[in-house]
Structure 1
Amino acid sequence: MSELTQPKERLLIVCPGRGTYNQAEWGTLTRHAAGSDWLARFDALRREQDQPTLSELDGETPFRLSLHGRGDHASPLIYACALADALAIDRERYEICAVTGNSMGWYIALALGGALAQDDAFTLINTMGHLMQTTLNGGQLLYPWVDDQWRPQPEHRRELLALIEKLHGQDGSELYLSIDLGGMLVFGGNEAGLKRLAEELPPLERFPLRLHQHAAFHTPMQEGVKIEARTCLPATPFGAPEVPLIDGRGKLWTPWSTDPEALWDYTLGEQLVTSYDFSAALKVGVREFAPDRIVIPGPGATLGGAVAQALIQLNWWGLDSKAAFQAMQQEEPRLISMGIEEQRGWLVGK
């Protein structure tokens, strides 16, 4: 290797979950992937299921949240947008050292990390989106536990968790911690539980925020979906990843130690019915792999705030507040959201 050769920068890839494909993201897939062989295959798989194709949804059908926000449409659209971004990263300059994701982003991570082939991951994501949409059991509500500078308020967090413990079981209420999402908690529950929780939470500018067309993901309320998913999605396509994966517990799945059957069992087992600790996944990614940059593939950039909040909790690059994070990003973005075209330009091949 020439002495002038620059070492590759190490990237931690953080895959987005539901809620990231909205009006502003309509057309993203067409712009980045039109004409690709893999998108043509995905469209063919959708046609076989009598579903509108991703190309139609992204390029021909005007955006409607009631349509595009459905799990059976949103999930594969988000996967396809994230895949297009990941494939565009310049591998001459960048090395992917590990992959993780938020909630549905775990399924995308399986593809980007090489544990599932692109088409097998599409089948998984399309099927899970359909099962979640047809069941739509319960819902999710989002609420922050950090202050307006994204600094941790651990006592407030304890109070929020105690509140759901108190309300769970009262007058038919079901409430659980669904996702530990940086500086926010995502609660899952039934209508009675979410209504009582919303009444108890102090109102903030945007919160409590009910998430549109989301079921009570990562809670025991998904037991029925788990049973059906394990019946119709076999373990056969799963393999060891090509790069390390970090799951929703912070557990590492490495190329040299992964049991594919155990990976399938987690993905269509514990992952569906217990809370997803996205913050723990990021902590492991940062501390175990010391990435130069953290990359969130598109669509959109809504996951960036939660990632930044988690990085402040870890004091990554000395970050201790929202203002410090914004200053770092202005000087040199260490957290890159590929849904922002200017930041995407940092990574794609010239």
Structure 2
Amino acid sequence: MAVKTNGCVDGNLPHELTDLLVTLASNWGDVIEVSGIKVEHLKGAMTNEVYRISWPIENEESSRNVLVRLYGQGVELFFDRDEEIKTFQCMSRLGFGPRLLGQFSEGRVEQFIHARTLSADDLHETEISALIAAKVREFHQLDMPGPRNVVLWDRLRTFLSEAKEICSAEHMKEFRLDELDDEIKRLENEFPEEQEIAFCHNDLQYGNIMIDDKTRSLTLIDYEYASYNPVAYDFANHFCEMAANYHTETPHVLDYNKYPGLEERHRYIHAYLSYAGHEADESEIGKMSEEAEKYSLASHIFWGLWGIISAYVNSIEFDYMEYARQRFEQYWLKKNQLLGVKHQ
């Protein structure tokens, strides 16, 4: 029953969590012995620690499963946890994602979805990519509460401010943080005022997408960074994530040879726009593709800053700083290509 908790590498389940699990089990009519609880660490999470918790069900061969999410250190620097819980609850009411089963001071308990998490290779499969595009379209059409204002630029400036506060002088210089205010402003001015804005996931990596292989239905999970943003930014984030594989010996290493080419990007956007009978024309697809490419620059800054901050505040075994280096390397390279400016 060992579990890694915040600040505890090999401790027992937090008492508060144990009490919550016993209460949930009782509500479901289960007879639970604490010694019979099994804990499985699910790899691939980089902000929180995630576990599958199970216990036997009396008179049945199967067992009860829940998912426990232990909040990572320093996550309050990236998003408002209370707002994230509200989003989670709203998604649950809409039937979009797992149910929230309970909360405790270090994390929460969620419904365990009996489906598999996608792999890095799955994102490039034509059929699965089309399913993702359709599911993302559904997500974008959700009527979520709150002002429908773009959050991206304010978040980038907040992340930059936080990075400057905690960074060493060496990292300040290496990552050119003093230049990024102007870079963010330049990027923001690249886009027209009239854009398609929707409630975006903002973190469409393969580990946040689950599939039932029998029904071919998808579930998007983890809404920590979800907010209203340009649709093309959600595309950009997803395309950038195709370079990642977080289940290798070096999960921080990105392979941009796997970044989708023009045909693959257009196919995804066509599937997105064509969902529910909409006829997408080539000009519309091309326009959104171009916008997504430019928004990839914002994605690199966002996750680059996230990596720098995480390196200082999070103890999860992941080379955040090297990850940040790769994102910023791509930023300066892609800026030259996409915005027609010289590499400095």
TM-score past 0.5 threshold: no
TM-score by length of 2: 0.30
Larger relative contact order (C-alpha < 8 A, sep ≥ 6)?
Answer: 1
| Rg larger for | 2
TM-score by length of 1: 0.29
